[in-house]
Structure 1
Amino acid sequence: MNKVFWFAAIVLLIDIIDVALSDAPAPVTQNHPQSSSLQHQSAHSWGYVGNTGPEHWGDIATICETGKQQSPIDIVHAQPTQLEAIEWDYEPKFQNIINNGHTVQVNLQPGSEIEVNDTDYQLKQFHFHTPSENRLNGRSYPLEAHFVHADKKGNLAVVGVFFEHGRANAALAALWEKMPAQVGTKQSLNKINFELNELLPKNKNYYSFTGSLTTPPCSEGVQWLVMQQAIKASPEQIAAFKAVLPSHNNRPIQAQNQRTISVSK
């Protein structure tokens, strides 16, 4: 009788544990804003203020603190260079827009790419920072978009676009209608209709330098292509983006060290 009793008790306990696990809410995952695979999950929480802010990111990845090619930077003393023009082939193949707690990110289906220096980079996603992460000759902009691309080997190229106050941006207006206010939620963009080129300046001259991801794990070797010309967004649009974030979401400026910044002639 004792053996039968204990066997039944163990089976019942296992069933209770299985039910508890199946009923537990799934954890809210937060995609790394600049991961080419969009699957990176940090083992530690991080943010932009307090004990999870940038001054503590070195606890997550040492290179965040010790790296010599970290981003963002203040773009100064750029050297005029005959840079190869970027060839753009963006298609309006949107997947969804997600509020991951660190930014608002738009994920795309395959089909959009750029070509630079004879290398094709597929556009994976783009997201926003306020105020801007990079600066231009000491100037900070109220908003910056990062278009994250990856080549076949997984090398990253990030196009940075500054926004300045002005008239409302039609592309942002379409996106913001779908922007999730709650962290961890997303909205489908299958029926949204606007051209990605509306988020790019007409003048495609750019600054080029080697940098890093601007969030943990702060991986280096990222090719940065920052547009010289800013585009417009209304103060109301920028305020709407800020309203869904717990705080600002820009990493402080990092040292340029011995890096060369090139600028299109």
Structure 2
Amino acid sequence: MPSPIFLVRSLALGLAFLLSPLSHAAGQVHWDYSGQGGPSHWGDLSADWEDCRAGHQQSPIDIGRATAALLLKVELHWQATEWTVINNGHTIQVNGASAGYAMIDGARYELLQFHFHAPSEHTVGGAHFPMEVHFVHADAEGRLAVIGVMLQAGGNNSLFRTLMFLAPKEEGAQSPAGQIEPLELVSDVSRVIRYQGSLTTPPCSETVLWTVLKQPVFVNQRDIDAFTALFPMNARPVQPLFRRFVLEN
């Protein structure tokens, strides 16, 4: 019988492909961030994407108002590994195998990949940050947990600069990044927002435990410009909260 670690890693490799913002492979339904393939039409493009239109736990949301709660501390046990930078047609995504794990709400989730949005998908009091990075995790049963970090102009972040330098300009292209430390793109994990939500791209599955860090990471405006030169706007509009609770520690 395969070991639990083998099963987790095998699942991680599959989810890294299936649950990321996907490129326009043959046979896939085309979607985009504007026009007839834009967010307001996602739920009509495929019968499998009904959650995009009718779901009641959709992401992103505005996190300007939250309820104080005692949340378990987020523990990041990420590790340096070989990463690859990919232009998948919707964003710049960074994939790595055996990248470590996070303890979120008392459960272990393996880090699969991280990718970027401009402007930020989550808003604070209705206002966007220039960018947001999403660290996508999954547990052994396929449950997802995403950590969102806001990126703000006004600093220099060597990892972000490296990734934007390596970012391929053509869809489907990829560049090896070598061993990098993703913790360089994380701020204070003790101050977070937590809520139940969804993928922010089709199929908009409502299977995601969201953790959004309250403290942004400061990066250089030139590096933000390098991303937006490739993807001027790749953020889904904020979604209704309905009856969900948004918690903060």
State the TM-score, normalized to the length of structure 2.
0.87
Contact kept? 2:188, 2:213, Cα under 8 Å: no
One of 179, 191, 196 as aligned partner of 1:205: 191
1:50-92 Cα distance to aligned partner (Å, 9 max, x none):
1111111012211100000000000132011110001111112
Q: Secondary structure at the match of 1:38?
A: helix
Rounded to whole Å, the distance in 1 between the matches of 2:34 and 2:55 is: 21
- Tell me what 2:8 maps to: none
Alignment pair present for 1:36 and 2:12: no
Q: 1:248 to 1:155 in 2, by over 3 A?
A: same
- 2:107 alignment counterpart: 119
Structure 2, unaligned runs of 5 or more: 1-13
Deviation of 1:117 after TM superposition, in Å, equals: 2.6
| Distance across 2 between alignment mates of 1:94 and 1:227 | 25
Counterpart position of 2:139: 151
Please give the alpha-carbon distance, in whole angstroms, between the structure 1 residues aligned to 2:189 and 2:104.
16
Shift of 1:37: 3.9
Structure-to-structure mapping, 1:133-144, within 5 angstroms = 133-144=121-132
Find runs of 4+ consecutive structure 1 residues off by over 2 angstroms.
39-43
Segment drifting more, 87-96 vs 247-256: 87-96
Report the CA distance between 1:121 and its aligned residue: 0.2
Q: Does 2:239 align with 1:254?
A: yes
Matches within 5 A, 1:219-234: 219-234=205-220
- Check the 8 A contact 2:82/2:97 in 1, yes or no: yes
Q: Report the residue type matching 1:51 in the other structure.
A: Q
CA–CA distance in structure 2, aligned partners of residues 250 and 79 of structure 1? 25
Match of 2:5 in 1: none
Provide, for residues 93-128 of structure 1, a one-character-per-residue CA deviation record: whole Å limited to 9, x for no partner. Answer: 133110011000000111311012321100000000
Q: What is the aligned length?
A: 227
**Counterpart in 1 of 2:4?**
none
- Compare CA radii of gyration and give the structure with the larger one: 1
> How far, CA to CA, are the matches of 1:251 and 1:237 in structure 2?
22
Select 2:164's aligned residue among 158, 168, 176: 176
List runs of 5+ in structure 1 lacking aligned partners: 1-34
